[in-house]
Amino acid sequence: MQAEMLQAAHRRPEIERTRVAVALPPDATSSGEALFVPITWEDTNDDGAGRPRILRDPHGALPSFTSRRLIGFLCQDRATRTVDGNLKLWYGEVSPEDYLRLWREALKSPLTPAQLAERHGLCLRVTLCATLDRVRGMRCPWPNAPFETFEHLEAFYGTRLIHITAEAGETRFGLSLDLREPEAARHAFYVESLLAQTGDTQAGIRVTLGRVAQPPHRLPVFDWQANLFEEATS
């Protein structure tokens, strides 16, 4: 235990350069609640541009949050880490309250997936997979789902839904969606619900960041964050 504490004490703090909240379409879930995918840029001390990454709740398959749940998640994790200096901003230390305020500002001005690509050259991709024998014949549990069964989903995507033969001999399907597509976020939510019913240990859903082009603009900087820097240096 003491060795672990010493390692933590000498671990280089994470430097968060900035952040954005990406808003998913309002029809992405059955409840119609506004959902956001939180993205930060970490300072890696290499090219000065920062490395983007998605913040994830380890208990959720999809890294999307309501605004209230995101603030609660940050309270328990990243905001707490600002207290002992394990998480800092590009200009130095920040209090938990000010850190959460920055995220509230980001939630007030979210980006769409298309804007994320246009402004920062990034796209959100969802990859879905499962054993075909487990999903064939399965019905989506939601009455307002865009497809009733897996076969309807299969017909909708056609050749985009690929079949893969695994080492054990079973056939799995794979489907990759770009959240800039009009129905992608909605379909990902309902497919995840369908896969959860199968009991298939090989089923999975993964959300990743991909590059679509070189970012045409600088990293997003919120006015309030710039004001903090001015106050810190005055």
Question: What is the pLDDT, as a whole number, of residue 157?
Answer: 94
Give residue-wise pLDDT tens across range 133-164.
889 988 888 888 898 899 999 999 999 999 98
Q: What is the pLDDT of residue 49?
A: 66
Q: Which of 124, 111, 106, 120 is closest to 210 using CA atoms? A: 124
Question: In the chain, where are the structural domains located?
Answer: 2-111+217-233, 122-211
pLDDT for 12 equals: 76
Q: Report the side by side order of strands in the sheet with 204-211.
A: 162-165, 171-178, 122-131, 204-211
pLDDT of residue 163: 92
The residue count of the chain comes to 234
Encode pLDDT of 48-106 as tens digits. 568 999 999 877 667 899 999 999 999 999 999 999 899 999 878 999 999 999 999 99
Which range (103-107, 127-131, 165-169, 180-184) has the least confidence? 165-169
Kindly report the CATH number that applies to the domain delimited by 122-211.
Answer: 3.30.70
Sequence-ordered alpha helix ranges (H) in the chain = 2-10, 67-76, 78-81, 96-108, 113-120, 132-135, 150-157, 184-198, 223-233
